[in-house]
């Protein structure tokens, strides 16, 4: 147990040091604007479809679950309010971040891990290029910049899925559903959503690049790095979400 704790804290220390280095490298501009755009495009395109598909089904499930309960109290028309508040405040950001870790974070770790195994990272260093500045920074920036819009789109998709089910299956008026959906939301909800997106994106990017660049030179090491990224990424997102929820609730009240 003592050994595990010591390993945990030394890894955390190393990760903090790495994170500080990445932030410094963001400002020293060793990456090209083209490489940042390439990563943003790749990360956006790769994650949108899977995140939106999941959001669509979660939106449907939310309506099915809440409508049954609300009907008992004669409040079926309020279903839009429940779907929208749940999505924007909690489900949208967390679920999108978890899917993002699985789709993008693990991909980044596998890509950088393969570069370690095939000595490409060593080659970068030998030719005088900085792998953190050239490879990690554009990926971390791209995850940080792309997750907030992905979360906002996922929220809209989830609310829209709920709208379809409420209107065509539960016979709730579409206007009422939409009115209730947007009535409940405040500016703090939207700002909170963006803040969560930025912090989750930054954390996932940092964990994925850190784990990827620390991949060992062994056959099973790349697979191990993707698993580590998934586990650490999801735990970090959930812990951060709890902290942010406390802060946002305090701000709102």
Partner 1 sequence: MGKPTTSGQPTRKQGELLRAEGVVVKFGSKTVLDGLSLSIDSGENVAILGGSGTGKSVFLKLVVGLLEPEQGSIHLWGQSTEGLDEDAWIPFRRRMGMVFQSGALFDSMSVFENIAFPMRQRGDSDEGAIAKRVEECLAWVDLEGVGRQTPSELSGGMRRRVALARTISFEPEFVLYDEPTTGLDPVTARKISRLIRDLDTKLSSTSILVTHDIECARTVASRWTYLAGGKIVADGTPSELLSSGDEDLREFLLGGDPARDLPLGRKRQ
Q: Name 42's Cβ contacts closer than 8 Å, sequence gap at least 6.
A: 142
Q: How far is the CB of 100 from partner 1 (least distance, A)?
A: 22
120 lies in the site for partner 1, by CB under 8 A: yes
Q: Nearer to partner 1 by C-beta: 90 or 130?
A: 130
Residue with tokens 């947007």: 182
Answer for which of 20, 37, 129, 238 binds partner 1 (CB under 8 A) is 129
45 lies in the site for partner 1, by CB under 8 A: no
Answer for which of 27, 128, 171, 220 binds partner 1 (CB under 8 A) is 128
Q: How far is the CB of 121 from partner 1 (least distance, A)?
A: 9
Structure tokens at 42: 């790749």
Q: How far is the CB of 118 from partner 1 (least distance, A)?
A: 6
DSSP state of 105: I
How far does Cα 174 stand from its chain's mean position?
A: 30
Q: Nearer to partner 1 by C-beta: 68 or 129?
A: 129
Rounded to whole angstroms, how far apart are CA atoms 7 and 3? 6
SS3 of residue 77 by DSSP: helix
Structure tokens at 114: 């393969």
Residues that bind partner 1 (CB under 8 A): 114-115, 118-120, 122-123, 125-130
């Amino acid at each position: 147990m003592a050994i595990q704790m010591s390993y945990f804290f030394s890894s955390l220390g190393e990760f903090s040091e790495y994170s500080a280095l990445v932030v410094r490298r963001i400002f020293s501009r060793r990456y090209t604007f083209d490489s940042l755009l390439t990563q943003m495009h790749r990360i956006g395109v790769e994650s949108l479809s899977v995140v939106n598909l999941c959001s669509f089904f979660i939106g449907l499930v939310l309506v099915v679950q809440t409508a049954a309960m609300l009907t008992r109290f004669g409040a079926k028309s309020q279903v839009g309010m429940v779907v929208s508040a749940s999505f924007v405040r909690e489900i949208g950001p967390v679920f999108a971040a978890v899917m993002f870790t699985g789709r993008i974070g693990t991909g980044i770790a596998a890509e950088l891990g393969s570069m370690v195994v095939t000595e490409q990272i060593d080659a970068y260093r030998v030719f005088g290029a900085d792998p953190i500045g050239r490879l990690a920074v554009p990926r971390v920036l791209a995850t940080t910049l792309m997750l907030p819009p992905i979360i906002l789109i996922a929220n809209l998709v989830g609310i829209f899925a709920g709208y379809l089910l409420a209107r065509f299956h539960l016979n709730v008026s579409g206007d009422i559903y939409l009115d209730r959906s947007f009535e409940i939301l405040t500016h703090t909800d939207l700002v909170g959503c963006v803040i969560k997106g930025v912090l989750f994106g930054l954390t996932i990017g940092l964990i994925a690049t850190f784990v990827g660049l620390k991949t060992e030179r062994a056959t099973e090491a790349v697979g191990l790095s993707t698993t580590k990224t998934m586990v650490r990424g999801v735990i970090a997102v959930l812990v951060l979400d709890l902290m942010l929820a406390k802060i946002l609730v305090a701000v709102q009240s």
